[in-house]
Amino acid sequence: MKTLFTTLLILFAHLGFGQNLFDKNFEDKTLRIDYVMGGDADTQTVFLKEMKQEPFWGGSKTNMIDPFGYGNFRFKLLDAESHEILYAKGFNSLFQEWQTTKEAKVLKRAFYQVNVMPFPKKPVLFVLEWRNKQGEMKQIFQYKIDPKNYFIRKEDPTPVKSELLLGNGDPSQSIDVAFIAEGYTADEMGKFRADVKRLAGYIFDVAPFDKYKDRFNIYALESISKDSGTDIPGDSIYKNTAVNTSFYTFDIKRYLTTFDIKSLHDIAANVPYDQIYVVINTDLYGGGGFYNYYTSCSADNKLSYEVSSHEFGHGFVGLADEYYNSSVAYDGFYNLDIEPWEPNLTTLVDFGKKWKNLMDKDTPIPTPRTEAFKNKIGVYEGGGYVSKGVYSPYQDCKMKSNKMKQFCPVCANAVEKMILYYIGE
């Protein structure tokens, strides 16, 4: 009893200290920074578009500095005078994925990007960093922001009907997921709400999400599309939809994404949100997931159960793909001379920082893909789209194939750590 009482005192003290720091530095609103990131395979340039104040803050008020080190990009808010870090978060982007395609070697393109953070009470520096090919974070943009600047737009978001379908928790101690309707006409919103409940149910059927179901707030945002469905360029099918999703991203048939990040955030701004999840009204197989960017998934495919949580593993947790025998558009996605930042891949360059502590001491490194080690945590060659030089922790996992209904123990451990970070524990 004494140990439990002491633990609770420490927890409450931590929460109170974090809350005090939030109240000192931030308002209970969101600062949104929109910019364009452009370049080619070897370069990137940032062009500031606009800043907005949005009415809700859905993130934590105690854990404000991302401790994981995940993401190919990171943004930080620094106190303008002391340069103390007030807020920091890693993220991925479609731009970075595009940089690894063959097209990026011969063409320059630009991608819209949005970062959201608590609204500061005093001047801050917004710093944007990029992870180079040596795995080092390098500053690529800096901008001083005065919260009193009258060019920070403060109009209300364009209204989109929303409904809280699950959860009733404090946004600062919950994981708030904004499910956005894509390819649903005004007459199909009943179907959309049912699809959100079903897809969220698929995710909560997977451990350890099942254990924390009551810590999620699930919002359905009824963004109306003129047409039903989504674009399928390979079949010359184009639809006028709310957030402009399309199959054939980077000419991969099943890759179902949107470049319209502005519209995603315009819609999501109607509720407090930590994560954006795009539900696409199609029965074709597809989806995508990008760490702290967004997640997307087909609503009605026979594999939507598997895809919904796989893609959320990317978008929410930062998990990598573990498959290595599938055709993709990437060229040299991982540098084999450095350790990947994703928690479920290793190049053995610095494996001690990965899942080595979760393995049996008598498991060989690397571990053969044999029946003797079928259900054991190991170091199995193959993952991250290549068969050599990159290793994954299990012979099969939800991040590798649709045969597995659950995450492997290493991925499940990463999921739980992320959940606890968001809910302030």
Ranges of each domain in the chain: 15-145, 162-318
Which position has the token pair 């991982």?
334
| Tokens coding 126 | 């917004």
pLDDT per residue of the chain (425 residues) written in tens, 0 to 9: 444 444 444 444 444 445 689 999 999 999 999 999 999 999 999 999 999 999 999 999 999 999 999 999 999 999 999 999 999 999 999 999 999 999 999 999 999 999 999 999 999 999 999 999 899 999 999 999 999 999 999 999 999 999 999 999 899 999 999 999 999 999 999 999 999 999 999 999 999 999 999 999 999 999 999 999 999 999 999 999 999 999 999 999 999 999 999 999 999 999 999 999 999 999 999 999 999 999 999 999 999 999 999 999 999 999 999 998 765 656 567 899 999 999 999 999 999 999 999 999 999 999 999 999 999 999 999 999 999 999 999 999 999 999 999 999 999 999 999 999 999 87
8 Å CB contact between 196 and 271:
no
Give the integer Cα–Cα distance in Å for 404 and 402.
5
Which residues pair with residue 295 across a beta bridge? 277, 289
Q: What is the pTM of this model?
A: 0.93
Residue 33 falls in which region: left (phi positive, over 0), alpha (psi -120 to 50) or beta: beta
The reply to whether 15-145 and 162-318 are identical in fold is no
Classify each residue of 267-276 as buried b or exposed e, where b means 16 or more C-beta atoms within 10 Å of its C-beta.
bbbbbbbbbb
8 Å CB contact between 97 and 250:
yes
Give the integer Cα–Cα distance in Å for 174 and 172.
6
CATH 3.20.20.70 fits 162-318, yes or no: no
| Tokens coding 83 | 């340069």
Residue 231 falls in which region: left (phi positive, over 0), alpha (psi -120 to 50) or beta: beta
Which position has the token pair 């001379």?
337
Give the integer Cα–Cα distance in Å for 260 and 334.
27
CATH class of 15-145: mainly beta
